[in-house]
Structure 1
């Protein structure tokens, strides 16, 4: 995966005692490269589906909300939420055609007594296809680099029991965009591990969110009937990288899988990216 030169990247900041918690490390503007895989219905062209692959250029801008957001309690004391707004813009890296735009929020939620729950993070977003997302999870910091597991793009579900021979050939013999390897189609996260190969990563902040069991994706009726997004899982890694001269910079990597259900099959829509804060 091609990314921008770390020589122009911003150094790590001092984020001690911020009410944003580890989300404070997101603040700023990030730019970089990635890859996107999505299967979409193709009834209009008399085929079951079309596999779309893109090398991407993207930009995410995170801005801290100006103050506390009070949530009023009736069975426990009030809590204060702090967060950031964000705007993600993704273009095709070759044509610069717009592929995705997503405004949203990341929230740092303190522990609560009713319901009894530990600290958590929340991601909310809206997408112009007609989707709204609420995903929750946790944030933590580890020494060293990220642990990036493989992610499968293989469709699953009851509908796969009835497909003809060669149904998934587009996944095996793909028209690849520049920079994308065929092996990435099976495991998109390989693009992330390739991007950091040889780097000395000192520490990593991990932000992991999912739309289940609490949260979800709400869609307009057309999407529910034709290509229903049923689940989102995402992991963001904020990595402190040390150069050979001892100076440091931060980079952001992420992997995201959205399950689209059509033809009684669950189709993983996978996006990955590697960016630096500028």
Structure 2
């Protein structure tokens, strides 16, 4: 049996490991070389046990798994058509969604210069969306959720972050916090705005009249999805959160963890030049609510409801792209 001399590379196999004998090789301790100031160690590299990782995830600890369910998307997208005086097409889609979350098994260290280092924990995710009627692929989004410990520079309590990438050419870093609530009844879900408004102006208050015919289902419009998807009423178009409230009727919710993130005043969205010029996306705001539910027969399960708004700026207006979903943890 052939042997080799001691290697000069500290990350190579240890000396005198027989080649071609995987059983013997597996019995050798891993040799960990210097890496970013971490001293060399002998023995196997270890990660925290899963229970420790779950505890460190804090408000994210119930995310790992596969979530599936229906959703709805409303987007006013630019329409480069000389016959379209308003310059947009209102696209309405019923969705079929899957989000797979996977724990990151080790801490993620951020090195401090104004304070001591911090260790973050998190999950990766992959969000897949298809049209519920046609089966057409609509969206795929790989990303991360992170939980961040309290810091002194900057001064902050515990926080969370969502990092999302979108194949149109956008990458968002949204920052926020988590809220826990024991539920004696159903939660209050406020309305979400779908009315376009001048860039830089405040979001219109609930009940604001939409000036564009495409948003009025009582009027015919060639610049709107036709036929309108089933069960999409004027009430849903005016406030897509109507669907979230409807999905909660008759349910008994025990507990909710809300993950609330926004791009302003921290974080931001980066776009490819084409997006910036044609439909700039400056913000992404979202609420993901992890709900512990007692269903029929006392069966307990988890549900994830979310609502998010991404603004698209073109023709001097901010056009809300609103997406909502109600997903159940399947695995």
Q: What SS does structure 2 have at the residue aligned with 1:150? A: coil
Tell me the equivalent position of 1:37: 74
For 2:130 and 2:137, locate their aligned partners in 1 and report how far apart those are by CA, in whole Å.
Answer: 4
Q: TM-score, structure 2 length as denominator?
A: 0.75
**Structure 1 counterpart SS, 2:105:** coil
Q: Which residue of 2 aligns with 1:95?
A: 134
Give the superposition deviation at 1:45: 5.6
- Which residue does 1:179 correspond to in 2? 231
Partner of 1:236: 288
**Alignment partner, residue 121 of structure 1:** 160
Greater CA radius of gyration, 1 or 2? Answer: 2
Cα distance between partner residues in 2 of 1:88 and 1:18: 24
Pairs aligned (count): 260
**Contact 2:131/2:138 (<8 A) preserved:** yes
Match of 1:82, SS state, is strand
**1:66 is matched with which residue?**
105
Runs of 4+ in 1 over 3 A off after TM superposition: 14-17
Q: 1:177 to 1:45 in 2, by over 3 A?
A: farther
Conserved? CA contact 2:292–2:301, under 8 Å: yes
CA distance in 2, matches of 1:62, 1:241: 20
Indicate if the aligned counterparts of 2:199 and 2:313 stay in contact, CA closer than 8 A: no
Aligned position for 1:18: 55
Who is 2:190 aligned against? 149
Q: CA offsets, 1:50-79, max 9 Å, x none?
A: 000000000000000120011111221110
Q: Distance in 1 between matches of 2:166 and 2:260?
A: 20
* Equivalent in the alignment of 1:169: 213
Structure 1 residues 223 and 16, CA gap change in structure 2 (3 angstroms) = closer
State the secondary structure of the residue aligned to 2:188: coil
Q: Is the 1:111–1:119 Cα contact (8 Å) retained in structure 2?
A: yes
How much has 1:270 moved relative to structure 2? 0.2
- Distance between the aligned counterparts of 1:249 and 1:155, measured in 2? 38
Distance in 2, matches of 1:264 and 1:15, equals: 50
Alpha-carbon distance in 1 for matches of 2:83, 2:276: 21
Q: Residues 54 and 61 of structure 2 are in contact (CA less than 8 Å); yes or no, is this contact kept in structure 1? A: no
Tell me which protein shows more strand as a share of its residues: 1
Deviation at 1:17, TM superposition (A): 6.8
Q: Does 1:273 align with 2:312?
A: no
Q: Indicate yes or no: 2:156 matched with 1:104.
A: no
Match of 2:24 in 1: none
CA-atom RMSD in angstroms: 2.0
- Correspondence 1:192-271 to 2 at 5 A: 192-271=244-323
Structure with the greater relative contact order (CA < 8 A, sep ≥ 6): 1 or 2?
1
Q: Distance in 2 between matches of 1:277 and 1:205?
A: 15
Query: How far 1:125 sits from its partner (Å)?
Result: 1.1
Query: SS of the residue aligned with 1:96?
Result: coil
